[in-house]
Amino acid sequence: MAPGKSGNIQLKARMKVRKDAVSGAVTFFAVVFVLVFAFLCLIPFVMMISASFSDENIIMTEGVGILPRGYSIEAYKIALKNPRFIVGSYVVTILLTFSGTLIGLFLISMTGYALYRPDFFIRNKIAFFFYFTTLFSAGLAPSYIWMVRYLNLRNNYLAVLLPLLMSPWLIILMRNFMKSIPYEITESGKIDGAGDFRIFTSLIFPMMKPALATIGLFLALSYWNEWYSSMLYLPNLEYKPLQYYLYKIVNEAAALRQSLAGSVVIIGALPTTTLKMATAVLATGPIILLYPFVQKYFISGIVVGSVKG
């Protein structure tokens, strides 16, 4: 072997070792940074759980810690004092979340598919109307009049279900994701004699898993965290959605504490801060279990849906 050629091989080997060392160091620091950042994001949730099991008086004087201070379950006793209503609220919220997510996914996916197809000649005009609603809103008064007076949905769960079924932003996200699916697939279905709905359900729908998982998570979070529409339209129902039921418990406890503040009644044991933490745990705990099932699709669906087009 020639001396010059041998020297080039040795130089390339040293450069490869140096490159591997640099790459390993970068990977190590990246992993450490992600772990530290994840830990910092986890701390508030841990402190929330800790505060929910802490004593109200100690929390007010010493603040919240990583571990419970003066262990107490009084906040959970108040939040769960009526098991029948808390269970009913969970059932209502789960049914609204499940049905709203399924129906919303079907409607949004069909709308996104229609707006993506090049042979739909007015797709851009319709897409403009969706986009226009993201810039301007009629406001609360027309929405309330429309829902109560014309649709007659006061004290009806449909008043919470219907408004969240379709979001302009989610439709735009779905439409942009559809652009990653070749239109030739639709054309091949037409050649085989399939109708539009058969093409959508058999060919297009199975290819939309990342977008469906991402948008489904957004829809589920919207229904699970909804309380404002429940406050407006469901005042007299026995079983209210979970978030609104917990919101009422916190407000009633705060109002009771404030009304007794100037009296001779001892109110130190009445939890307000710890009750807020307990209700937050009850409200956020179950929905967190949903995220691991859609995590592998979530990032790809967001990236593809936001970059395309």
Q: Whole-angstrom Cα distance, residue 56 to residue 308?
A: 51
Statement: the pTM of the whole predicted model exceeds 0.85: no
pLDDT digits (tens), the chain, 309 positions: 445 555 555 555 555 555 566 677 778 888 888 889 888 888 888 888 888 888 877 777 777 777 887 788 888 887 787 788 888 888 999 999 999 999 999 999 999 888 888 888 888 888 888 888 878 777 788 888 988 889 899 999 999 999 999 888 888 888 888 888 888 888 888 888 888 888 888 888 888 888 888 888 889 889 988 888 888 998 888 888 988 888 887 777 777 666 665 555 555 556 677 777 888 788 776 777 666 666 655 555 444 444 444
pLDDT at 225: 87
Count of positions (residues) in the chain: 309
The residues, ordered by sequence, that sit 6+ positions from 168 with a Cβ below 8 Å of its Cβ are 130, 131, 133, 134
Q: Which residue has the tokens 């503040």?
A: 261
Q: Please provide the DSSP assignment of 207-219 as one string.
A: GGHHHHHHHHHHH
pLDDT at 107: 92
Q: Whole-angstrom Cα distance, residue 236 to residue 132?
A: 35
Q: Whole-angstrom Cα distance, residue 299 to residue 210?
A: 8
pLDDT at 124: 84
Residue 258: how many other CB atoms lie within 10 Å: 11
Q: Whole-angstrom Cα distance, residue 70 to residue 55?
A: 5
Q: Which residue has the tokens 């109200």?
A: 56
Whole-number CA gyration radius for the chain: 27
Q: Whole-angstrom Cα distance, residue 109 to residue 122?
A: 18
Residue 175: how many other CB atoms lie within 10 Å: 23
Could you tell me where the DSSP H helices lie in the chain?
3-52, 56-62, 74-79, 83-116, 123-133, 140-145, 158-161, 168-178, 184-191, 196-199, 209-224, 228-233, 242-259, 273-288, 291-307
